[in-house]
Structure formats: C-alpha cells, structure tokens
Amino acid sequence: MSSEHSVVLVTGGSRGIGRGIALHLAREGWNVALNFSQNIEKAEEVKKKVIEAGRQCLTLQGDVGSSQARRSILEGIHRGFGRLDLFISNAGIAPRVRNDLLETTEESFDEVLSTNLRGPFFLAQSAARWMLKQKQDQPELIPRMIFITSISSYVASVNRGEYCISKAGLSMTAQLFAARLAADGIPVFEVRPGIIQTDMTAKVASRYDSLIAGGLVPQRRWGTPEDVAHAVAAIARGDLDYSTGQVIEVGGGFGLRSL
C-alpha cells in the first residue's frame, strides 16, 4: 500500500461522528486508517466509500482501551502506510445503563473511562512519539492531533456521570498534549460536539427533540456528523495551525449565554 497522500487515523471510525470524519477527509484527499471495535460490516462499508472517493483505507479492529490493541493499531498503520500525519481520537462509548450518580457502579466507571480516556491518552502518547520521530527525519512535516470530546466535558448529566468525567478528562488531555507539543511544531486541538444525530443519541432522540425545539440549541436543529467533519477538515488543512490548544465547539450555539 503506497503512502502517496497524507494519512489520518480515525478511532471509532465505523459509525457516527467518526464515520462522517473519515468520509469527509477521504473526499479531501486523505488516506484513512480506520479503527473500529466490533462492527466489521460497518467498517467495511466505510472502507468501500473511502476507496470510491479515490483514496486508500486500512481497517484496524481493536478496542483502544486495550494496550495490545493500541500497539496493533499503530503497527498496522506503520506497515500499511509508513506514516501518520493526523491523529483523531474519536472512539467513545456511553454507559451501558444510565444510572443516577448515586448508583453508578465501579464496573461501568472503569469500562467507560478505559475506552473514553485512559485508552485515548496512551494511544495519543504513542502517536505523538511517532510524529516527533517523523519530524526528526522530515522537519518540514506538520503532523496534527485532534481530540473529539463533547459538551458533556462541562455539562453535568447526573445519570451518566462516568461519561461526563471521561470527556472532561479528555478535554484536559487535549490541553496537555497541545502544551507539550507546541514547541515541536505539532498543533493539537479539541473539537467539542454538541447534540449530534448519531446512533448513540438515537435512544434519547425524543427528549432531545423537545429540548431543541424549546431553545436549548439556539440554531434550533440537531448537529450532524458532517458538521463536526467540517471543523476537523479545517484543522486537517492547516487553516488553524497558529491556534494550537484551542477548543472548537460544534454545538449550534449551545454554549452561548444571553438574557
């Protein structure tokens, strides 16, 4: 497999926001390393569409919460493409059961934080080391990192506290990597989606429909994976390179305060 074009790793890329990002970047000329955990069929669908867009695609199965899987993911990219230009940490899960904060179990807490925070942190660490090595060999390269978080990083939902904590931690992870890598010429960003129409939010769609209609989102509509992908694409193109460490909220104005 050639590495004629720049390579992006999208974790959790078989569905939802990750899928939207992978397909959008493929249309912009990126070869895609697509990580997924379980749904092989959905991953193969995305791969087919990436190839139809004229780009190459590797599908890399593995739970980012597993250290062995993380090694396998990066080794697969090294073998298949030989380079990594853009790291996108998108993989994430919701709690299996939305329990009240006082009923949250250690098992649920550990499972969510393993996939949403611990795994992404250490995968980013390994990816950053690789990117630094690439820059030693080719100083003109500008690798980039993006962490896909959530408005749940600052909005309290007491029936899924472990999810909120994981996203708040991932938000700080983005800040830490931005601070550590700034002098090395590796820009790092946080993209913070709001209420996005995906299979993860489908279970509570009617509730969000009512909240959006009531003005919770000033733009009065759901967000889409494509909305998030547009923000990611601007970073990927290098349009925001002198803004490392910034948070881009894709939430339809959710964070606005008005009287």
Whichever domain contains 54, its CATH number is: 3.40.50.720
pLDDT of residue 259: 83
Out of 154, 163, 208, 242, pick the active-site residue: 163
pLDDT of residue 202: 81
Q: Does 174 fall in a domain?
A: yes
Compute the distance between CA of residue 146 and CA of residue 190 in angstroms, rounded to an integer.
Answer: 6
| Residue 70, CA atoms < 13 Å, CB-side half-sphere | 19
Q: What is the domain range of residue 41?
A: 7-250
Q: Does 255 fall in a domain?
A: no
pLDDT of residue 4: 60
Compute the distance between CA of residue 205 and CA of residue 107 in angstroms, rounded to an integer.
Answer: 26
Its pTM stands at 0.96
Catalytic, 154? Answer no
**Residues 108, 38 contacting (CB under 8 angstroms):** no
Q: Does 65 fall in a domain?
A: yes
Q: Does 98 fall in a domain?
A: yes
Q: Does 256 fall in a domain?
A: no
Q: Does 257 fall in a domain?
A: no
pLDDT tens-place values along the chain, 259 residues long: 444 689 999 999 999 999 999 999 999 999 999 999 999 999 999 999 999 999 999 999 999 999 999 999 999 999 999 999 999 999 999 999 999 999 999 999 999 999 999 999 999 999 999 999 999 999 999 999 999 999 999 999 999 999 999 999 999 999 999 999 999 999 999 999 999 998 888 888 999 999 999 999 999 999 999 999 999 999 999 999 999 999 999 999 999 998 8
Total domains in the fold of the chain:
1
Compute the distance between CA of residue 89 and CA of residue 9 in angstroms, rounded to an integer.
Answer: 8
